[in-house]
Amino acid sequence: MNRRSLLGAASAVALSLTLGMGAAHAQDNDFTIALVPGLTTDAFYITMQKGAQAAADALGVELVFQGAPDFNPVTQVPVLDAVIARAPDAILIAPTDTVQLVEPLRKAHEAGIPVITVDTFIGSGVYQTGAGDADFPLAYIASDNVLGGRMAARALANAIGGSGKVYVSNVNPGISTTDQREEGFKLEMAENFTGVEVLETQFNENDANNAASQLQAVFARNNDLKGVFGANLFSALGAANGVSQAGQTGNVKVVAFDAPTSIVDNIKTGLVDVAIAQHPAEIGYYGVVSAYAHLTGQSIPVSIGTGFTIMDKDNIDDPEIAKYVYSD
């Protein structure tokens, strides 16, 4: 046999082994994993879905993405009930309320469906300790949101020169992620930036239009307002629009949590000073990998923390930074 036919024979064996393994793998591990996002039309969760799909493709499992059109337990619970009725092998979910999703998720747990929470948590977010009534999820995979809030405070304090009035534009109380961002923001200001006065938080119900009107109302009451922290994508976009509508671009500094494509323009025009991008694709990827590991008999970490990328006008054109802008 000459060298070329030897190589050909070797690659044919390798190919048949690969195909054979693939077929056995598909038969043995024919899993369906459901991902229930906070809402379906948010670039954060769309990016999470892409990461989850990449892991599902790599592992040969089916991913079902099913969610509600808004971030609200009233609309998320019926979607969750429908998902449980389909009896997937595992559920990954971003619960929209720390309390209101406990009993609906317990139904999945009691039906023998493993639950992993991604992005947000139920109860205290500390699972598998035997304490409390909401520690049944197997794992929590997310950003460190207290740290993210602290990072936002540092960025905003620096942008306003260390003193002056700011406030937090937030979604609703009872959401683990945005509650923790506000907590971290206030802790950091109180501990390290005592010249900054944090005004009362404005809750916008995840509606950017509300966030924009609230910015203008706060500015009308405080014409020395120096800055705003938008604690999630819609809060930040709305607050930034409010600053622009009030004709205060550059005077009222904006620090945004999350990084949809529109944030890039807002950074370039100077409307937004800093955006703190989460890594939602990582959250989705490790969510599916964790569910798969559990379903195939491996033990899994009870908590996985994913990273952040800080974006500003000096680095936003760098492809290594821009790759963390969310997909829409």
Q: Using CB under 6 A as the criterion, which residues of the chain lie in contact with ligand T6T when the complex forms?
A: 38, 42, 44-45, 119-120, 177, 232-234, 257-258, 278
How many Cβ atoms sit within 10 Å of the Cβ of residue 72?
A: 17
**Nearest in space to 49 (alpha carbons), one of 31, 33, 35:** 35
Output the smallest distance, CB 189 to ligand T6T, in A.
20
Query: In this complex, which beta carbon is closest to ligand T6T, that of residue 44 or of residue 140?
Result: 44
Query: In this complex, which beta carbon is closest to ligand T6T, that of residue 181 or of residue 226?
Result: 181
Output the smallest distance, CB 257 to ligand T6T, in A.
6
Output the smallest distance, CB 323 to ligand T6T, in A.
18
Output the smallest distance, CB 265 to ligand T6T, in A.
18
Query: In this complex, which beta carbon is closest to ligand T6T, that of residue 175 or of residue 246?
Result: 175
**Nearest in space to 36 (alpha carbons), one of 8, 78, 6:** 78
Residues 6+ apart with CB under 8 A from 50: 281, 284, 327
Query: In this complex, which beta carbon is closest to ligand T6T, that of residue 88 or of residue 148?
Result: 148
DSSP 108-146: HHHTT--EEEESS-STTS--SSS-SSS--SSEEEEE-HH
Output the smallest distance, CB 68 to ligand T6T, in A.
13
CA distance 124 to 24: 40
Query: In this complex, which beta carbon is closest to ligand T6T, that of residue 248 or of residue 278?
Result: 278
How many Cβ atoms sit within 10 Å of the Cβ of residue 110?
A: 10
